[in-house]
Amino acid sequence: MENLLNSYTGKIREVTIGGDGLIVGGQNTLPFYLFEGEMPHKPLVAMEVLDIEPTDWPPALTEPLSGVLNDPLKWAKKCEDLGADLICLYLLGTSPDGANKSPEEAGELTKKMLENIKVPLVIYGSGDKEKDPKVFTKVTEAALGKNILFGPAQEENYKLVAGAALATQQNVIAFSPLDINLAKQQNILITQMGVKPENIVMDPTTGALGYGLEYCFSILERLKLAALQQNDTMTQMPIICTVGKEVWKVKEAKVSEAEEPSWGNAEKRGINWEVVTAFTLLLAGADIVVVRHPKSLEVLHALIKELLS
Amino acid sequence: MALTGLDIFKKLPKTNCGECGVPTCLAFAMKLASKQAELDACPYVSDEVKEELSEAAAPPIRTVEVGFGENAFKVGGEVVMYRHEKTFFNPCGFALLIEDSASGEEIEKKLSQVKSSQFERIGQILKADLIAVKYSSGDENRYLSLVNKAKDLNFPLILICSDEGVLKKSLEATKGTRPLIYAAQERNVDSMASLALEYQVPLAVKADSLDNLSSLTEALKSKGVKDIVLDPGSRSLKKTFENLIFIRRAAIEKKVRSLGFPAITFPNEEVSDDYFEVAYAAGYVVKYGGIVVLNDLSPEKVLPLFVLRQNIYTDPQRPMQVEEKIYEFASPDENSPFLVTTNFSLTYFIVSGEIESSKIPTWLGVVNTEGLSVLTAWSAGKFTSEKIASFVKGKSIAERINHKKIVIPGYVAILKGELEDELPGFEIIVGPREAGDIPAFLREWKT
């Protein structure tokens, strides 16, 4: 079997998140190909927390998280207790189309969140291209010295977002819309701003199972092959996939059994949808997957443990 | 590996008789090389040459067929390690395991799942492909009765049976239906080969290492068994994951013919918890499983797996398309907004998902753009004002709505003027560029 082994010239960069220095990346082999390389740091499973109470989540999600969904601090604490590697705070409430919370409120929440939990923090803005940079200025100030990972830095606002990362020495998420060339381009642009490559994590857009998963899958495989086989330094950043946010809005994951009797038990179906999406992307090259359901966290942790054993 | 047209031409009769339907032998050779013709079309080529050419032209992984007729299941025939390099051709199969030691009630429940766990998605029927019938009761009549019941469902069968006498009787009972028999191992390789040859059925082979597996397939090939399915014997996620990668690599990158066969996996034997069984199975869909055996087909378990298989085995060069038609959401009426978009499946799914989540009654006209997304279709000339106008006229949209307003995607705002010229009496409204903004747009809608 020895002549079936490949070797790689490149390796994925190590990015350190959080005050205690949790490292993601560092592998010199395809995902879980431990027979021919090393994954010194395990892929991470983050749990998503919203800054506003979700209104459109199915019972499969609200039941296991009942009692904390209206309080991001309690919610994050619960996720930490459940064993999440990271908390991913999604500042949906700052969206001008929604609750339009102020950057100051977001900064305040970040500060309290960091006092409240020990696991490192990832923060996503609402995605609003004008509002996000203002929010990030406050968020990164509040997180000074805590080495958070935040974004997305999009094509239209990357200069301001990267600026906030540079000013406070924190890690930034380079977002690109489902296109390998744009993913690479975004890394180049952000490093040209002066952000170090080891402070960047890529978000090449996540597609849920049945809703573009195959595109995301192949982009991840191609990014990892370029990074490892061709030693392309601008594809060597670790990858984050926002699985839960995509999965739990699709019909197959959330409709009740009463509405679709032929699809079977809704809770199990939703969890399977999330786990299958996340696991498929981990096998393609995701370094961090963000999920919503506690059971998904448990199953994914066990799968990663088994493959790394 | 792949022969050129010229290599093939050298072996042909060079008489240019034209009986194959192509005027010259050279042209026929070219067609053969590009797999647009079959060698059998030439009546004069010798058997020897046939054998030689088919061996040389054979894909690195043999395509194995289980079952017969319209339900026959084809697996293998893959040529790449990563789907973006070309595509994965023959979708892996899901098999439902039924043991004859199970209670009658349990057996009936499982058999009924074969039919009930079928779903339609993007014009395809998603379903299990095979039934694996396992002999574990020690009572041969019980097994044969189960085999007969399963056979009546007209699904390709896998006969898992370690008693060759019972297996032979099962093969008699299923004659002509081409079940896969499981499994030849070191101790019984000769007799299993004889059964496979006698009944003309594909044979699974099991060993405890890839080296041993490879020697066994060599032995089988030398006896004339060609349709082989590999079981590398591992029963843990980690080891099976590794074995499947090695098998695919050996066949495709190293041209190891003795491992050039599809593989069968048993997540059902590796783990008992449903969530993990689904996850392991998903891993084998993604990474090189040929047949995936499952404990049951409950819809909440198999729907995600069937959809995953559909995703992974989609040709990256040929986008999935949805049917050109008018889709209705939340019972729209003559006052509801009318949106148009393209028939790229992802575009459709994202747009329809947003409309659905808004819960606002809406019409969505999906125009056939040959599976291209909005901007790509527009720049390729497949989502033009003429095309949209002819869709609007052809589908008698004027009769469905009384407000005469058509909403086009924000990315093709440029079409507004032209469309208003093409569709006198209609007002063209420029909608959002991103699907995520559709719910807000719909909430503001006024006729």
B440 CB near a chain A CB, below 8 Å?
yes
Helix (H, G, I), strand (E, B) or coil at B208: coil
With a CB-CB cutoff of 8 Å, which residues 89-108 of chain A face chain B? Answer: 97
The pLDDT tens digits of the residues spanning B397-437 come to: 888 898 999 999 999 999 999 999 999 989 999 999 988 88
Do the chains contact at A4 and B357, CB–CB below 8 Å? no
Does the pLDDT of residue A114 top 80, yes or no? Answer: yes
B109 CB near a chain A CB, below 8 Å?
no
Do the chains contact at A210 and B83, CB–CB below 8 Å? no
pTM score, whole prediction: 0.90
pLDDT band at B47 (very low <50, low <70, confident <90, very high): confident
Helix B210-223 and helix B237-252: axis angle, to 10°? 50
- Tell whether B152 and B80 lie within a shared domain: yes
Using CA atoms, how far residue B35 sits from A161, B38, B59, B443, in Å, is: 53, 7, 11, 54
CA distance A261 to A255: 10
Q: Find the range with the poorest average confidence among A57-71, A125-139, A226-240, B373-387.
A: B373-387
pLDDT band at B2 (very low <50, low <70, confident <90, very high): low
H-helix segments, B274-380: 274-286, 299-312, 345-358, 374-379
The pLDDT tens digits of the residues spanning B21-44 come to: 889 999 998 888 877 788 888 889
Do the chains contact at B304 and A276, CB–CB below 8 Å? yes
Identity at A160, one-letter amino acid code: L
- Tell whether B349 and B300 lie within a shared domain: no
Chain B neighbors of A58, CB-CB under 8 A: none
Do the chains contact at B282 and A280, CB–CB below 8 Å? yes
B297 CB near a chain A CB, below 8 Å?
no
Chain A neighbors of B347, CB-CB under 8 A: none
Chain B neighbors of A271, CB-CB under 8 A: 275
Does the pLDDT of residue B105 top 90, yes or no? Answer: yes
Does the pLDDT of residue A139 top 50, yes or no? Answer: yes
- Tell whether B280 and B380 lie within a shared domain: no
Do the chains contact at B301 and A252, CB–CB below 8 Å? no
The pLDDT tens digits of the residues spanning B228-249 come to: 999 999 999 999 999 999 999 9
How many beta-carbon contacts under 8 Å exist across A and B? 130
Domain ranges of chain A: 19-308
The pLDDT tens digits of the residues spanning B7-19 come to: 889 888 999 999 9
B140 CB near a chain A CB, below 8 Å?
no
CA distance B141 to B167: 12
- Tell whether B237 and B283 lie within a shared domain: yes
pLDDT value of residue B1? 47
B85 CB near a chain A CB, below 8 Å?
no
- Tell whether B39 and B68 lie within a shared domain: no
Q: Which helix (H) or strand (E) holds B399?
A: none
The residue of chain A nearest to residue B84, with distances taken between CA atoms, is A218
Q: Find the range with the poorest average confidence among A172-176, A187-191, B435-439.
A: B435-439
A299 CB near a chain B CB, below 8 Å?
yes
- Tell whether B336 and B353 lie within a shared domain: yes
pLDDT value of residue B123? 79
The pLDDT tens digits of the residues spanning A267-287 come to: 999 999 999 999 999 999 999
Chain A neighbors of B311, CB-CB under 8 A: 209-210, 213-214, 217
From the list B388, B377, B447, the residue with the least C-alpha distance to B423 is B388
> Domains in chain B: how many in total?
3
The residue of chain B nearest to residue A277, with distances taken between CA atoms, is B308
Chain B neighbors of A35, CB-CB under 8 A: 242
How much is the average pLDDT of A248-270? 94
CB atoms within 10 A of CB B297: 26
Last residue of a domain, one of B284, B312, B340: B312
From the list A203, A212, A284, A273, the residue with the least C-alpha distance to A238 is A203
Return phi, psi of residue B143, to 5°: -65, -50
Distance from CA of B91 to the nearest CA of A (A): 14
pLDDT value of residue B397? 85
Does the pLDDT of residue B447 top 70, yes or no? Answer: no
pLDDT value of residue A1? 64
* Contact of A7 with A207, CB cutoff 8 Å: no
Given the DSSP bridges, would you call strands B338-342 and B157-160 parallel, antiparallel or unpaired? Answer: unpaired
Does the pLDDT of residue A45 top 70, yes or no? Answer: yes
Quote the tokens at residue B251.
């066949």
Query: Has residue B320 been placed in a domain?
Result: no
Of B82, B304, B440, Cβ closest to residue A273:
B304
Indicate which CATH number applies to the domain containing B374.
3.40.50.11600
Chain B neighbors of A218, CB-CB under 8 A: 82-84, 316
Indicate which CATH number applies to the domain containing B53.
1.10.15.40
Which DSSP string corresponds to A102-165? -HHHHHHHHHHHHHH--S-EEEE----TTHHHHHHHHHHHHTTTS--EEEEE-TTTHHHHHHHH
CA distance A101 to B9: 74
- Tell whether B294 and B433 lie within a shared domain: no
Helix (H, G, I), strand (E, B) or coil at B394: helix
Chain B neighbors of A280, CB-CB under 8 A: 282, 286, 308, 312
The residue of chain B nearest to residue A98, with distances taken between CA atoms, is B440
The pLDDT tens digits of the residues spanning A19-42 come to: 889 999 999 999 999 999 999 999
Domain that holds residue B47: 5-57
Query: Has residue B317 been placed in a domain?
Result: no
Of A1, A214, A269, Cβ closest to residue B311:
A214
CA distance B340 to B429: 11
Distance from CA of A215 to the nearest CA of B (A): 8
Distance from CA of B265 to the nearest CA of A (A): 17
How much is the average pLDDT of B119-126? 89
A266 CB near a chain B CB, below 8 Å?
yes
pLDDT value of residue A194? 96
Distance from CA of A239 to the nearest CA of B (A): 19
Query: Has residue B318 been placed in a domain?
Result: no
CATH architecture of A19-308: Alpha-Beta Barrel (3.20)
B84 CB near a chain A CB, below 8 Å?
yes
Chain A neighbors of B346, CB-CB under 8 A: 207, 211-212, 215
Can you say whether residue A177 is alpha, beta or left, with left for phi > 0 and alpha for psi between -120 and 50 degrees?
Answer: beta
CB-based contacts of B119: which residues, under 8 Å, 6+ apart?
A: A262, A263, B125, B126, B127, B299, B303, B306
How much is the average pLDDT of B95-100? 98
When the pLDDT of each residue in chain B is averaged and rounded to a whole number, the result is: 93
Q: Which helix (H) or strand (E) holds B191?
A: helix B189-199
Does the pLDDT of residue B395 top 90, yes or no? Answer: no
Do the chains contact at B440 and A97, CB–CB below 8 Å? yes
A181 CB near a chain B CB, below 8 Å?
no
How much is the average pLDDT of B289-312? 97
